[in-house]
Amino acid sequence: MDFKFNSEVDIPVRGVHLKGQLVIPLKATSIVIFSHGSGSSRLSPRNQLVANNLHINKFGTLLFDLLTVEEDLHYHNRFDIELLTKRLIGATEWLMKKPEARNAKLGYFGASTGAASALKAAEYLPDINAVVSRGGRPDLVMDILPKIEAPVLLIVGGLDYDVLKLNEKAFVELQCEKKLEIINGATHLFEEGSAMERVCELASFWFEKYLSPVKV
């Protein structure tokens, strides 16, 4: 596969530098920015699997660490949605200034607590055209859900009972284009059978629907 950009990056955000990986296939017109969950990083094997699938479908991706190594040592930072949201917004604004990303449509893929920051950032940034949440915690930003305009897909494992209930409550609050997909037999980490492959399929379909160029 040919790439317009494929490299590790250093993202300056509010006085810190965050490590990331930006991959943009040559024919990509859209880029999905990942917001990982607590205790995870840009190297998350599940997010890497989704990203690789998106590359095949001609989407660019940005995976980055929302916290520095030192910050991640303090457990409470992993659940500081306000901090994570500011980092995500900062990384998004950095990406929008890169020549390789000029005119690209942008989407968010959030997992666990990272989905909460993705939703909150999407409410703040009108440039976000779609959001996908995998096993996310949208309930952590329940107050802003009715304000979100970007189409939102919530993906939850059928055996992830508590998180499923929280997503069902959050789904009611969303007033945008929305869908709740339940993967039967899957728990929170989607480790069962082909659960992650199904996540990849659902995410790709959602982004293709809302991030692809309008055909005339």
How would you write the pLDDT of the chain (216 residues) with one tens digit per residue? Answer: 899 999 999 999 988 999 999 999 999 999 999 998 766 667 788 899 999 999 999 999 999 999 887 877 777 777 789 999 999 999 999 999 999 998 999 999 999 999 999 999 999 999 999 999 999 999 999 999 999 999 999 999 999 999 999 999 999 999 999 999 999 999 999 999 899 999 999 999 999 999 987 543
- Residue 123 located in a structural domain: yes
- Residue 216 located in a structural domain: no
Helix axes 81-96, 113-124, angle to 10 degrees: 60
- Residue 115 located in a structural domain: yes
pLDDT at 215: 47
Residue with tokens 């810190």: 16
CATH at 60: 3.40.50.1820
Q: What is the pTM of this model?
A: 0.94
DSSP for 108-138? Answer: EEEETHHHHHHHHHHHH-TTEEEEEEES--G
- Residue 42 located in a structural domain: yes
Mean pLDDT of the chain: 93
Give the whole-angstrom CA distance, residue 137 versus residue 88: 16
Which amino acid, one-letter code, is at 168? Answer: E
Give the whole-angstrom CA distance, residue 2 versus residue 215: 24
- Residue 128 located in a structural domain: yes
Give the whole-angstrom CA distance, residue 136 versus residue 115: 5
- Residue 81 located in a structural domain: yes
- Domain of residue 145: give its range: 3-211
CA–CA distance from 144 to each of 81, 167, 176 (Å)? 13, 14, 12
First to last CA, the chain: 27
pLDDT at 44: 80
* Tally of domains in the chain: 1
pLDDT at 216: 37
